[in-house]
Amino acid sequence: EDQVTQSPEALRLQEGESSSLNCSYTVSGLRGLFWYRQDPGKGPEFLFTLYSAGEEKEKERLKATLTKKESFLHITAPKPEDSATYLCAVQAISSGSARQLTFGSGTQLTVLP
Amino acid sequence: DAGITQSPRHKVTETGTPVTLRCHQTENHRYMYWYRQDPGHGLRLIHYSYGVKDTDKGEVSDGYSVSRSKTEDFLLTLESATSSQTSVYFCAIRPGTSGNTGELFFGEGSRLTVL
């Protein structure tokens, strides 16, 4: 059974205080790992895809990295508008044509001004 | 904007009543998904569809049924709602032309409360 565990559950940062969110996963053959952002009362919004260990993706203040067991979402000099819940999801090779995702519970990030 | 509309956005109902949630898309995407989101559980797949009249179960399908008679509409039905089905329900689509098969576009969600 595919599993995704995210930590911490909640994180409060001061504006400009860099940190990292963790996503640990177990999957029987990884097709891809995905990061989403979710604002309160909204649906998740896609951020990144990572396919293989060592891969990195960047977008503004966010950088996602991948190892064989976990992924990190690094947030550099965050701003209050980065406050959101960040979700990690994995897609197994065995997911077939439907390409189902298994999601973690998310990390709720609050950036204080 | 992936053109996804969920309705109703909010619903309060009583145990034992039937409930249908609708997901409407405007771009003829083949794959559509229903997820539920609960604190501590993240998003869990209920059912998905890979075409008109083609549907399959996800990991938490008990108590739910789906139908897709038109490409643009994917309906989720709770035949007899229970309190454990109180949740936020999200519809998602996967763009068929995208090589990035994990990139889903989600609707705004439907918040269901079963009393």
- Please write the tens of the pLDDT for every residue from A45-59: 999 999 999 999 999
A98 touches chain B (CB under 8 A): yes
Structure tokens at A22: 């963790």
Residues in chain B closer than 8 A to A4 (CB atoms) = 42
Structure tokens at B7: 């309705």
A59 touches chain B (CB under 8 A): no
What pLDDT, in 10s, does the model give residues A3-48? 999 999 999 999 999 999 999 999 988 999 999 999 999 999 999 9
Burial B44-73 (b: 16+ CB within 10 A, else e): bbbbbbbeeeebeebebbeebebbbeeebb
Report chain B residues touching chain A, CB-CB < 8 A: 31, 33, 35, 39-45, 48, 50, 56, 58, 90, 92, 94, 100-109
Q: Looking at chain A, how many residues does it have?
A: 113
Residues in chain A closer than 8 A to B66 (CB atoms) = none
Q: Is the C-alpha dihedral spanning A33, A4, B94, B109 positive or negative?
A: negative
Residue B33 burial (CB count, 10 A): 26
- Candidates A50, A101, A100; CA nearest to A62 is A50
Average pLDDT value for chain B: 92
Structure tokens at A41: 């009362």
What pLDDT, in 10s, does the model give residues A45-103? 999 999 999 999 999 999 999 999 999 999 999 999 999 999 999 998 877 766 789 99
Closest residue in A to B43 (Cα) is: A103
CB contact under 8 A, A46 and B103: yes
Residues in chain B closer than 8 A to A5 (CB atoms) = none
